[in-house]
Structure 1
Amino acid sequence: MNCTRFYSSLIAFVLLFTGLGAGYAQQLDSMVNLYGERYPQEKVYVHFDKPAYNTGETIWFKAYIFSGIIPSPISRNFYVELIDPSGKVLQQKVLPVYEASSAGSFDLPANLPPTVIFRAYTTWMLNFDTSFLYSKIIRILNKTGVSAPGTTAATTPAAKQTAAKQPAAAATAAASSSTPAVSLRFFPEGGDLVTGLESVVAVKVTDEFGLPVSANGSIKDASGATVATFGTVHDGMGRFSIEPQAGKTYYAEWQDEKKQTHKTNLPAAKSTGVVLQCASSGSREAFIIKRSQESPDNLKTLYLLGYFNSQVVYKARLNLQQNFMVSGSIPLEGIPTGMIQMTLFDADWKPLAERIAFVNKEDYFFTTRVVPTIKNTDRRGKNSLVIDVPDTLRSNLSISITDAGLSKADPDADNIVSHLLLSGDLRGYINNPYYYFTGNDDTVRSHLDLVMLTNGWRRFKWDDLAAGKLPVIKYPHENYLSLNINLTGVLPSQVPKNTQINVFLQAKDSSRQLFFLSMDSTGKFKQDGLVFFDTVSVFYQFNNNKHLANKAVVNFTNGTYKGAVAVKPDSAWRVPMPLDTSLLNRGRFFASEAERLKPELEKKVKVLETVTVKAKQKSKQQVMDEKYTSGLFTGGDATTFDLTDDPSAMGAYNIFSYLQGRVAGLQITTGGGGSQLQWRGATPSLFLNEMPVDVTAIENIPVTDIAYVKAFRPPFFGAMGGGAGGAIAIYTKKGGDVSSSATNVGGLDKTKLTGYAAPKEFYSPDYSKELAQNELPDIRTTLYWVPYILTDKNNHKVTLQFYNNDVTKRIRIILEGMNEDGQLTRVEKIIE
C-alpha cells in the first residue's frame, strides 16, 4: 500500500470564510493541526499468549505502540502493571521499546484473586486523557474454576460513558423496575433532541456487567400515545426517529430478553437548537443539518469542521439565514481506514453538536501466510511451520501457540486490528469489536454506525483551542534509561563550577560502560539513551574534588517514571460472565493435572538436583540485626528488609512505596498530603536509627541511603503510648553496606542502579535430545511463544519448530503484527 496511508490534508470549502468567522476558523484550523503535529496521541495493543491463566504460570505479552495510524516514533520506555480489582498494584515493570513495540512477562504467584488487571502505558500517554491507557481483565483459573461474578470489587458495569465523558444529552437512564441491573441508554445523534426537529436516537441496553442485552419497546408521550417503536438489532443496540413536540415529555416502555418490563424517560428536548445527521454514501460522508424555525442569529450561520487523526480534512461555512436545513458531504478520497470526527459550531464558534463516523477502506491489512509443514498432536509430537510475509516492507510480528481449549476467545475479545483501529480510540465498552472487520457489507456498516452513535470521544477542549491554549506536557519524551546524579547535603558554594564525575556501570556479566559527565546549570549530572537490565553496579569519582563524595550524598536514579502505588479502580474492570464453559473446564483440567503431578514432579526434581554440602551459619537477617539494632529493637516479632542487596528497592519512590503491600496488615497510602500509615486501626510509630521521628523526616530520605528496615507488629512496647499501631524502624547505611556481587574498581565509591526488568526466556523443550529434564511431566498450556519475528525484503520467510505437551490434542496458532507503514496482520489456525 506504501503511501496511501500517509494521506495529505484534504480541505473542502462549501463557502469562503469572511470576516470574524474566518479569523476564528483559521485559528481553530491551525490549532487543531498544531495539536496533531505537536501532540500526537499514542495507543497500545497487547498480544498475550492466551486470555486466561492458572496461578503459578507466566503471562507472556508483546505490546504494539501506535501514534495515529503508524507505529509510534515517540516513546522509548514502556510501563506495565498487574493490578488487583481494588486498585492495588501487585507488580510493576519498565521495559525498553524496540521497533515501536515491547515484550515481557509476569510470573503469577499462588495467591491471586479470580481476576487481575493488566495495565500498560507510556509516560507520553499520561499527558492526556488517562482513560485511554491500555487495560485488560486477565482471568485467573484454578482447579475449581473462577469465582462467580459479583464476588469481587471488579463487578461494576463495563460502560465508560459516564456523564462526565459524554455530551450532556447522551443521557443514561436506569430502568425503574424490579431488575435495576439492566439499563437502557439514549444517544440523540449529534448530542441533543430539539423541539420540532426530527432526530435519530440510538439506544444501548446492557446488564450489570456492561454486556449487551436484547430488548424492544415503544416510545410514548405523557398521555400514553405511542410515537415510535424500537428494538435492538445488534449487541444491545438499535435506533429510532422522533420529532419532539413543544411542552411534551416522552418515555420508553420496553421489555428485555427475559420479558421483564421497564420504563425509562427520554432526555428532555431543547426548545431551540440544531441537529446533525450523517450517513456514509460511497466515497463521501453525507450530512444534513437542521435548525429550529425560530432561532437566534447565532444559529443562522454555522461552521462545520471535519478532522481525522487530529488533522483538519474538511471545513465549511453554512448559511441558514433563509433555510432551516442544509446538506452536504465530506469527500473521503485520501483518508485511510479510521474514524472521522465532525463538530458543528454556531456563529460565535461555540460547539453545538458532534458526530463520529467510521471510514473503512479495507486498506489496513497486509498478507501473512502461516503454513504448518509438520503436524503432530501426539504426546510430545514435533511440529513445524513456515511464516511467509510476501512484502518488501519491514514487518514486526509475534506468535503464540497454545492448547486450543485455553486460548479460545472470550466475550469481550479484541485483537490488533479491532483495537488499534476502533476500540482503542473510543471510551465506551465494545462487545466483540473484531466483528466489525469481518465484512464491509451494508449490515456490518449499519451495526458499526450504531457503535459510533453510542460511544463518544471528545479529544479537544474547543474553548482552550480558540484561546490558543495547548496541553501542558508534564511528562516529556523519554530517551530510554538515564543516569541521573543529584548531590544533596552540600551548599552550592561547596561544589566547584567545573565539577565532573567519572562513572563506571558494570553489569552482572561484567560488561562495563564509562561516562565522563559535567555538572549542568542546575547542579545535576545526566546521561540518557542507556539500555541495561536488572541491576548494575555503579562506581564513581569526582575528578577534580575527590573528597566531594564524602561531604555530599550522591543520589543515582534511572530517570523512569515512579507511578502511584495505588490506582483508582476503573468501571471497566469487571468480572466477565463465565460464558465459555469449555475454557473454564479446560483450565480446571490443567490445574488439576498440575496438582496431581506435583508429588511426582517434586520427586523427580529432587533426583535431578546436585548434592550440596551445607554449613550452619548466621542468616543475613541475624547479621544485619547484630550490626544495626540494640535494646528493644533487637529480635522481636517483626518483618525485616535488607535493602543493601535488594534490586527492587532501587526503583522505589521512597521507603513507604517500597514497603506498601510487603507487610501483612500494614496499610500505606500516598498522595498530595504525604504518606499515611495505619496498622490495626492505629498509626505505627516511626524510628530513624532508633530515634523517634515523623513521616516527613522519613519519606524524603533516598531509598539508596537505607540499609535495613524492621516492621514490628502491634503492639510495640518500645514506643510512646504502648505502640498500638506497631512500629517501623529504619536504619541508614553504614560502611561496608555494598552488595557482595559488586566488584570494587580502583577504590571508587559505589552503589547500585536498577535497569529494565530482567528478560525471561521462554522455555521450549527439545524432545529429540535425551536430557534429564525431559523426564519431567509436560502439561504446558503455552507450547511456543515468540514475541519478535522480524521480516524484510531480504528475509521474508521464517521457520519455527516446537513440540506438543503430554495432553493437548488441538493446537491453536495466533500470529499478529504490523509493518512499517502501519498496516496490520492477524492469522489464526488450528492444528488437530
Structure 2
Amino acid sequence: MGKTQSIGPDSLLARWTAQQPIEKVYVQFDNKRYAPGQTIWFKAYLTSLQLPSTLSKNFYLDFHDANGKLVEHISAPIVSGVALGNWVVPDKFSGETVTVLGYTNWMRNFDSAFYFKRTLTILSSLTNTQKSATVLPTTTVQFLPEGGNAITGIPCNMAFKAVNQNGLPASISGTIKNKAGEEITNFSSSHHGMGTFQYLPQTGETYTAYWNDQLGNDHQTLLPAAEPVGVNLILHPGSLERNFEINRSAEVPEAWKKITVLVQANGEVLFKAVANLSTKTAIRSKIPVMQFPSGVAQLTLFDANNKPLCERLFFVNNEEYRLNAFVKTDTLNLEKRGKNVFEITVDDSTLSNLSLSITDGNVNGAVDDNILSSLLLTSDIKGHVHHPAYYFTSDADSLAKQLDLVMLTNGWRRYSWSTVLEEKLPKLKYLADSAYLSLYGKIDGLSESKIKKAELMNMILQSKDSSKSMIFLPIQPDGTFSQPNVILYDTTRIFYKLNAATLWAKNKVSIWNNLYTPDKNRMITNTHFNIDTAGNGILKFIAAEAKRLEQLKLETTLKEVVVKSKIKTPMQELDQKYASGLFSNDGIQFDLTQANEGGNTVLGYLQSRVAGLLINNPNSPDASATWRGSRTDFFLNEFQSDAQQIFNINMNDVAYIKVFRPPFFGSFGGGAGGAIAIYTKKGVDATKSIKGLDYLEWMGYSPRKEFYSPNYAEQQVGFNTADLRNTLLWMPWINTSINNQTIKVQFYNNDFSKSLHLVLEGMDNEGKLVHISKLLQ
C-alpha cells in the first residue's frame, strides 16, 4: 500500500470545509433539576476545528416544555468562545421537564440534530402525585453490517442496536437462521442494547434474526440482504494503530480494484493511501491513529472514480485534549452554614476559561453527558447516544470496545460524500453573526437636504438601571443609521433627535437589532426521556419549604432590622455606579469626578500612570496604546471605541477611568493587550438632556443577573431566614493563565446539605478541555 498525491476527495473536502466550517456547542448548567421560581444558570462553550470558535458573536438557547412548545428564547454575546446567561423558571410552570436547544445563527444552516440538546427536570408539582400508568416497553432493532455492505462469500461483521419506544437501550438475545430454518449463529446485546456477531453470507440465502426482548416476547427481523458483488471493510481495535482489512468479490468492476483509503475528522484529511487489489481479493494494513486528534473519525473507501464504496466511523482517544487541572479541598465543612474553601489549579501555561457549580449532593448526581462527551462525541454523530459521559470515565480496553459499538451503530450525517464530490455546496440561508448586538434604524420621509443638514442622529441610551450613554450615528442617504457591537441587556429606552434639524410627525423612526428570534409557535419533538428521579423528593421538600417561608415572610411585619455590612470606599461606590458585567472585574482605577483636567486628553492623563501600558502620541487623534506587545482596546461607556473618539472627549466630562491588565475578556477577540474603559459623568445634566425627546424601546440581549452567594462572616438582612439553596455556588467566569494558575474559591453551606456535588468544566485557548466531577461528604 503506497501513499498518493493530494487529489480527489481530500482536496474537495478541504474546499468544502473552508466554505462551511463546523461549529459545535456544549452548555454547562448549574444543576439538572429545578422547581418553579428557581434560576437555571448556564455557560455555553463553542468550538470550531477544536479551538474556541470565532465564527459567531451571538449564542441562542431555547427552552421548550414537555409538549415541545417554545417557552423562552435566550440570547447572549459570545466572548472568547463562551457565553453566559440564566432563566428563571416561571412560578406557574406546569410541566415536568424542559428541553433545551443551544445553537448559533450559523448552525441553523445545517441539521438541527447537531444542536446542543439537554432535558432538565422541573418539579412543577411540590406534592407527591399519583404514578402514571405503567406502559410496557416495545422494542425494535436495527442490523448494520460494518462498512455498510454484506457481501456473499466474504465474512461479515454485523452490528445491531435495540431500543424501546423512547429510543432508550433495550437488551435482546436470539439466533440467526437461514431460509431453511438452520441456526447459523447466536447473538445477544453486550452493552446498552448493542452488540455484534459474525457470519458468512452465502449466495441465494436470506437470513433472519429470531430474538427475544426483555419481557420474553418473540420477534423476527430480516437481516440486510447480502450483495453478490462488492467490497467490504473490517476495522480492528487498537490504540496506537488500527489494523483494517479490505475484501472484495472475485468479480468486480475494474474501478473497484484500485481503492483509495481516506480518514477525515472535522473536515480535515488525516490519512490517505491507495490499496491495489488488481491481483488479489484481500489486503490488510494499518492506520497510525496515535498522530490523530481525538474525536470521531470517518474511514471511507473510494474506487478509482472517487465513488464511495464503504464507510465506517471510529473514535480516537489520545488524551491530548485534556487540560491539566485539578481541585484541592482546603476546608470541607458540612455543618449548617459552614465555610468551605477550595483551590482550582491549572498547570498548563495557556489561558483557560472555566465554570464551577457546587450543589447538594443528594439532589444532584452526575449528568449523562459533559463537555468531553459533547464536543468530542455526540456533536459529531447523528442519533441518540445513551450516557455518553460514561465513555470518558477511563481508558480501559473494555470501554473502548463498547464505544466502538456506538461507532458501528451511528452514522456520520454532517454531509454525504456524494454531495462533496459533486461540489454541490448547499445554499446557506443564514450568515454567521459576525457582529455582536447591533442597532439598526431608519427615518422615513426625510428629504435629502435635511439628511445633509442633520448628518447625525443623536441618541441617548437609557438602561433599566437608569444608566445612560450617548451615541452619534451618521445618517445615510436612504435615511438609515447603525451602530455595531452594542453590548446592552434587557430593554433599553432610546431617546433621539436629529443633530441640526427637526423631525416632523411624518418622519417615522424605527429601530431594530440583528439578533435571531425564533417563531413563537415553533414545536419540537421530545424523545429519549430518561429522567433520574433519585433526588426529586429532597428537592420537592426544599422547594415547598422555601415557598412556606416566603409566605410567612410576607405575612410578618419586621419592626426593626439591624444591618451591619462593610462600608464601601468611594472608589468601590464609583465602580458600582458605572461598571457592569465584565467591566466590574478588578482594574486600575482613576476617580476624575473632582479633577480639573480640562486641558488634557484621556491618553495624555494616563501616560506614565500605568506600569506596562505604552502610549504613543497621547495628545493626537492618531494615538495608540499597547501592552505586552498587543493593541490595547478602548471603551467609552462600555461601547468599544477608537482613538479618534477618545481624543474628542472633554476631560471635564469624564467621571471614571478603569484600566484592565491583559487579557481582558470583555474585548472582542480576547483583549490580549488589555483595555481602557472611560466613563462620562452621570447626573443632572444627563437627565435634563432627555426631557422632551421622543423615545423608542429596544430589546438587547436577554437580561442577565449575578449569582448570589451569602457571606455568613458578615451580618446582613435575610440571614435570619432558612437557607434552602440547592445550588450553593455558581462561578461561570474563572480565568487562569501562566501568571495566575491557582484560584481560591470559598462559599458557605446551606442549612441542610450533608454532601456536595462539585463540577468543574472549561476550555483553554488551545481547545483543551476539562471535566472534574466530585462527590464531597
Identify the TM-score tier after normalising by the shorter chain: 0.7 to 0.9
Q: Distance in 2 between matches of 1:497 and 1:129?
A: 50
Aligned residue runs from structure 1 range 745-756, under 5 A: 745=690, 748-756=693-701
Q: Distance in 2 between matches of 1:193 and 1:104?
A: 50
Aligned residue runs from structure 1 range 391-402, under 5 A: 391-402=348-359
**Partner in structure 2 of residue 774 of structure 1:** 719
**Partner in structure 2 of residue 660 of structure 1:** none
**Partner in structure 2 of residue 384 of structure 1:** 341
From 85, 102, 119, the equivalent of 2:83 is 102
**Partner in structure 2 of residue 807 of structure 1:** 752
Q: Distance in 2 between matches of 1:545 and 1:462?
A: 60
Q: CA contact under 8 A between 2:473 and 2:482: conserved in structure 1?
A: no
**Partner in structure 1 of residue 419 of structure 2:** 464
Q: Distance in 1 between matches of 2:687 and 2:561?
A: 28
Q: CA contact under 8 A between 1:394 and 1:790: conserved in structure 2?
A: yes
From 388, 391, 394, the equivalent of 1:439 is 394
**Partner in structure 2 of residue 817 of structure 1:** 762
Q: 1:545 Cα deviation (Å)?
A: 5.5
**Partner in structure 1 of residue 372 of structure 2:** 417
- Closer, same or farther: CA 227–490 of 1 in aligned 2, 3 Å: farther
Q: Distance in 1 between matches of 2:528 and 2:766?
A: 35
Q: Which residue identity does 2:543 align to in structure 1? A: A
From 716, 722, 734, the equivalent of 1:789 is 734
Report SS of the residue matched to 1:37: helix
Q: 1:239 Cα deviation (Å)?
A: 0.2
Q: CA contact under 8 A between 2:561 and 2:717: conserved in structure 1?
A: no
Q: 1:94 Cα deviation (Å)?
A: 0.9
Q: CA contact under 8 A between 1:150 and 1:575: conserved in structure 2?
A: no
**Partner in structure 1 of residue 74 of structure 2:** 93
**Partner in structure 1 of residue 312 of structure 2:** 355
Q: 1:377 Cα deviation (Å)?
A: 1.4
**Partner in structure 1 of residue 363 of structure 2:** 406
Q: Distance in 2 between matches of 1:192 and 1:492?
A: 69
Q: Which residue identity does 2:553 align to in structure 1? A: L
From 233, 247, 253, the equivalent of 2:204 is 247
Q: Which residue identity does 1:585 align to in structure 2? A: G
The runs of 5 or more residues in structure 2 that have no matched partner are 563-685
Q: 1:99 Cα deviation (Å)?
A: 2.1
- Closer, same or farther: CA 136–223 of 1 in aligned 2, 3 Å: same
Deviates more, 1:589-598 or 1:486-495: 486-495
**Partner in structure 1 of residue 215 of structure 2:** 258
Deviates more, 1:395-404 or 1:742-751: 742-751
- Closer, same or farther: CA 443–795 of 1 in aligned 2, 3 Å: same
Q: CA contact under 8 A between 2:159 and 2:409: conserved in structure 1?
A: yes
Q: CA contact under 8 A between 1:202 and 1:238: conserved in structure 2?
A: yes
**Partner in structure 1 of residue 655 of structure 2:** none
Q: CA contact under 8 A between 2:373 and 2:388: conserved in structure 1?
A: yes
Q: Distance in 2 between matches of 1:608 and 1:188?
A: 76
Q: Distance in 2 between matches of 1:148 and 1:212?
A: 23
Q: 1:552 Cα deviation (Å)?
A: 3.5
Deviations 1:81-103 (A, max 9, x none): 11113321101111111221111
- Closer, same or farther: CA 201–149 of 1 in aligned 2, 3 Å: farther
**Partner in structure 2 of residue 481 of structure 1:** 437
Q: Which residue identity does 1:808 align to in structure 2? A: S
From 146, 162, 173, the equivalent of 1:189 is 146
Report SS of the residue matched to 2:534: helix
- Closer, same or farther: CA 529–592 of 1 in aligned 2, 3 Å: closer
- Closer, same or farther: CA 317–607 of 1 in aligned 2, 3 Å: farther
Q: CA contact under 8 A between 1:601 and 1:777: conserved in structure 2?
A: no
From 29, 54, 77, the equivalent of 2:35 is 54
Q: CA contact under 8 A between 1:15 and 1:318: conserved in structure 2?
A: no
From 396, 406, 412, the equivalent of 1:451 is 406
Q: CA contact under 8 A between 1:358 and 1:452: conserved in structure 2?
A: yes
Q: CA contact under 8 A between 2:3 and 2:272: conserved in structure 1?
A: no
Q: Which residue identity does 1:589 align to in structure 2? A: F
Q: 1:365 Cα deviation (Å)?
A: 1.3
Aligned residue runs from structure 1 range 373-772, under 5 A: 373-409=330-366, 413-478=368-433, 479-488=435-444, 500-507=456-463, 508-519=465-476, 524-543=480-499, 546-547=502-503, 550-570=505-525, 573-577=527-531, 580-604=532-556, 745=690, 748-772=693-717
Q: Does 1:115 align with 2:103?
A: no
Q: CA contact under 8 A between 1:303 and 1:344: conserved in structure 2?
A: yes
From 2, 8, 11, the equivalent of 1:14 is 2
Q: 1:126 Cα deviation (Å)?
A: 1.0
Q: Does 1:81 align with 2:33?
A: no
Deviations 1:532-590 (A, max 9, x none): 1122222333447644x64332221121112222334235x34325xx45312222332
Q: Distance in 1 between matches of 2:238 and 2:44?
A: 36
Q: Distance in 2 between matches of 1:279 and 1:535?
A: 58
Q: Does 1:269 align with 2:251?
A: no
- Closer, same or farther: CA 383–605 of 1 in aligned 2, 3 Å: farther
**Partner in structure 1 of residue 583 of structure 2:** none
From 765, 771, 774, the equivalent of 1:826 is 771
**Partner in structure 2 of residue 144 of structure 1:** 127
Q: Distance in 2 between matches of 1:349 and 1:605?
A: 80
Q: Distance in 2 between matches of 1:534 and 1:85?
A: 27
Q: Distance in 2 between matches of 1:220 and 1:343?
A: 31
* Number of residues of Structure 1 aligned to a counterpart in Structure 2: 650
Report SS of the residue matched to 1:341: strand
- Closer, same or farther: CA 328–591 of 1 in aligned 2, 3 Å: same
Q: 1:29 Cα deviation (Å)?
A: 2.1
- Closer, same or farther: CA 203–145 of 1 in aligned 2, 3 Å: farther
- Closer, same or farther: CA 588–536 of 1 in aligned 2, 3 Å: closer
Q: Distance in 1 between matches of 2:493 and 2:740?
A: 39
Q: CA contact under 8 A between 1:401 and 1:783: conserved in structure 2?
A: yes
Report SS of the residue matched to 2:306: coil
Report SS of the residue matched to 1:405: coil
Deviations 1:28-50 (A, max 9, x none): 32221123233221111111111
**Partner in structure 2 of residue 131 of structure 1:** 113
Q: Distance in 1 between matches of 2:225 and 2:207?
A: 8
Q: Which residue identity does 1:767 align to in structure 2? A: Y
Deviates more, 1:554-563 or 1:471-480: 471-480
Q: Distance in 2 between matches of 1:365 and 1:513?
A: 45
Q: CA contact under 8 A between 1:114 and 1:146: conserved in structure 2?
A: no
From 28, 53, 71, the equivalent of 2:9 is 28
Q: Distance in 2 between matches of 1:260 and 1:418?
A: 34
Report SS of the residue matched to 2:236: strand
Q: CA contact under 8 A between 1:253 and 1:263: conserved in structure 2?
A: yes
Q: CA contact under 8 A between 2:160 and 2:409: conserved in structure 1?
A: yes
Q: Distance in 2 between matches of 1:494 and 1:354?
A: 65
Q: CA contact under 8 A between 1:397 and 1:790: conserved in structure 2?
A: yes
- Closer, same or farther: CA 493–369 of 1 in aligned 2, 3 Å: same
Q: Which residue identity does 1:289 align to in structure 2? A: I
Q: Which residue identity does 2:198 align to in structure 1? A: S
Q: 1:596 Cα deviation (Å)?
A: 4.4
Q: 1:470 Cα deviation (Å)?
A: 2.7
TM score, norm. by length of structure 2: 0.78
**Partner in structure 1 of residue 675 of structure 2:** none
Q: Alignment identity in percent?
A: 37
Cα RMSD (Å): 2.8
Deviates more, 1:471-480 or 1:752-761: 471-480
Q: Distance in 2 between matches of 1:367 and 1:525?
A: 48
Deviates more, 1:430-439 or 1:485-494: 485-494
Q: Distance in 1 between matches of 2:409 and 2:130?
A: 31
Q: CA contact under 8 A between 1:499 and 1:518: conserved in structure 2?
A: yes
Q: CA contact under 8 A between 1:232 and 1:238: conserved in structure 2?
A: yes
From 245, 265, 269, the equivalent of 1:312 is 269
- Closer, same or farther: CA 196–146 of 1 in aligned 2, 3 Å: farther
